[in-house]
Amino acid sequence: MSIDTATACDYTALAIDDFEATHGGVFKRARASLGVTAFGMNILDLPPSSDTMYPEHTHRFDEQEEVYLALDGSADLVLPDRAVPLDPGGMLVRVSPDTRRGIRTGPDGARLLVVSGRPGVSYVPAPNSELGGPEAPGSPDAASSLIPGTTQTLTARHRY
């Protein structure tokens, strides 16, 4: 962080690849790496043709809504009634805490920015989102072929 008291400048500039990474590099702790305190923010670096690295889930347990934006590559944000294409320069998508969502990546994978917060409530970072914190256990209702005993339920038609 740089603070220039003569001009009252306070900012952090950091390359995405320098953010602290978790889950084998799939999640990058953007909020903590930049020192953001007002909302949650992560970068997802998802591998090509994947429907398992970002499991289907809701945020009922922590009441967070999320906004998704593609920075690189391509993916579909699969929702209960449709799949929304996530392509650089394309749509921003807000998903409520109760809406189930999953991500299916294209042949080149995808780098996504995910911004989150609790509607009407001041942001309080979860312990697993702090630098050096434990990896997130995930949503209690997450489902993926990588999670034994779970079943994926989203069936909306998607590109990948």
pLDDT tens string 97-121 = 999 999 999 999 999 999 999 999 9
Q: Is residue 54 part of a domain?
A: yes
The CATH number that applies at residue 75 is: 2.60.120.10
pTM value is 0.86
Q: Is residue 79 part of a domain?
A: yes
Q: pLDDT at position 8, please?
A: 75
Number of domains making up the chain: 1
Q: Is residue 87 part of a domain?
A: yes
Range of the domain at 105: 15-118
Query: Quick one: pLDDT band at residue 3, thresholds 50, 70, 90?
Result: low
Nearest-5° angle of CA 82, CA 83, CA 88? Answer: 145
Question: Would the pLDDT of 144 be above 70?
Answer: yes
- CA 50 – CA 56 distance, rounded (Å): 12
> What six digits make up the tokens of 77?
């944000």
Top pLDDT among 140 and 38 is at 38
